[in-house]
Amino acid sequence: MRKRHIVLTLYIVFLMLPIYWLLNMSFKTTNEILGGFSAFPRDFTLDSYRTIFTDPTWYNAYINSITYVVINTVLSVAIALPAAYAFSRYRFLGDKHLFFWLLSNRMAPAAVFVLPFVNLYSAVGLFDTPWAVALAHTLFNIPLAVWILEGFMSGVPKELDETAYVDGYSFPSFFVRIFLPTISAGIGVAAFFCFMFSWVEMLLAKNLTSVAAKPIVAVMTKTASTSGYELGLLAAAGVLTIIPGAIVIYFVRNYIAKGFALGRV
Amino acid sequence: MNKTVNNKAWWLVLPVFLMVAFNALVPLMTVVNYSIQETFGNNEFFWSGTTWFEQILHDGEFHASLRRQLVFTGLVLLIEIPLGLAIALCMPRQGPWVSVCLVLVALPLLVPWNVVGSMWNIMALPDIGLLGKGINALGIPFNYTRQPISAWFTVVLMDVWHWTSLVLLLCYAGLVAIPDAYYQAAKVDGAGPWAVFRHIQLPKLKHVLTIAVLLRFMDSFMIYTEVIVLTGGGPGSTTKFLSIDLVQKALGGFDLGPAAAFSIVYFLIILFLSWLFYTLMMREEAR
Please tell me the total count of domains within chain A.
2
Residues of B in contact with A87 (CB under 8 A): 13
Amino acid (1-letter code) at residue B75:
L
Give the mean pLDDT of chain A.
83
Any CB–CB contact under 8 A between B45 and chain A? no
Q: Residue B265 half-sphere exposure, CB side, CA atoms within 13 Å?
A: 24
Any CB–CB contact under 8 A between B106 and chain A? yes
Task: Name which of B115, B201, B268 to mutate to probe chain A: the one with the most chain A Cβ atoms within 10 A of its Cβ.
Answer: B115
The verdict on residue A14 lying in a domain is yes
The verdict on residue A148 lying in a domain is yes
- What pLDDT is recorded for position A265? 35
Residues of B in contact with A16 (CB under 8 A): 104
ipTM (interface pTM): 0.83
Residues of A in contact with B15 (CB under 8 A): 79, 82-83
- What pLDDT is recorded for position A58? 84
Whether residues A88 and A174 share a domain: the answer is yes
- What pLDDT is recorded for position B43? 60
d(C-alpha B1, C-alpha A139), whole Å: 29
What's the whole-model pTM score?
0.84
Whether residues A30 and A151 share a domain: the answer is no
Rg (CA), chain A: 22
Whether residues A147 and A224 share a domain: the answer is yes
Domains along chain B? 60-286 (1.10.3720.10)
Whether residues A38 and A62 share a domain: the answer is no
Whether residues A87 and A195 share a domain: the answer is yes
Whether residues A36 and A70 share a domain: the answer is no
Burial class (CB in 10 A: 0-12, 13-18, 19+), B138: exposed
Q: What part of B 167-226 touches A (C-beta under 8 Å)? A: 169-170, 172-174, 176-177, 207-208, 210-211, 214, 218, 221-222, 224-225
Whether residues A208 and A124 share a domain: the answer is yes
Whether residues A123 and A254 share a domain: the answer is yes
Check A265 against B214: CB less than 8 A apart: yes
Q: In which domain, by residue range, is A162 found?
A: 55-262
Check A86 against B9: CB less than 8 A apart: yes
- What pLDDT is recorded for position A263? 46
Given a cut of 70, the residues of chain B with pLDDT beneath it are 1-2, 38-49, 253-254, 285-287
d(C-alpha A124, C-alpha A153), whole Å: 35
Given a cut of 50, the residues of chain A with pLDDT beneath it are 226, 263-265
Summarize pLDDT for A11-35 with one digit per residue, the tens: 999 999 888 888 888 888 777 777 7
Task: Name which of B29, B225, B256, B279 to mutate to probe chain A: the one with the most chain A Cβ atoms within 10 A of its Cβ.
Answer: B225
Whether residues A70 and A38 share a domain: the answer is no
Whether residues A3 and A122 share a domain: the answer is no
Smallest Cα distance from A46 to chain B, Å? 19
Nearest residue on chain A to B126, judged by CA atoms? A37
Tell how far CA A29 is from the center of its chain: 31
The verdict on residue A50 lying in a domain is no
Summarize pLDDT for A219-237 with one digit per residue, the tens: 877 765 545 557 788 888 8
Whether residues A93 and A6 share a domain: the answer is no
Whether residues A111 and A222 share a domain: the answer is yes
* CATH number of domain containing A234: 1.10.3720.10
- What pLDDT is recorded for position B193? 83
Nearest to B114 among A217, A242, A253 (CB): A217
Is cis: bond before B235, omega within 30 of 0? yes
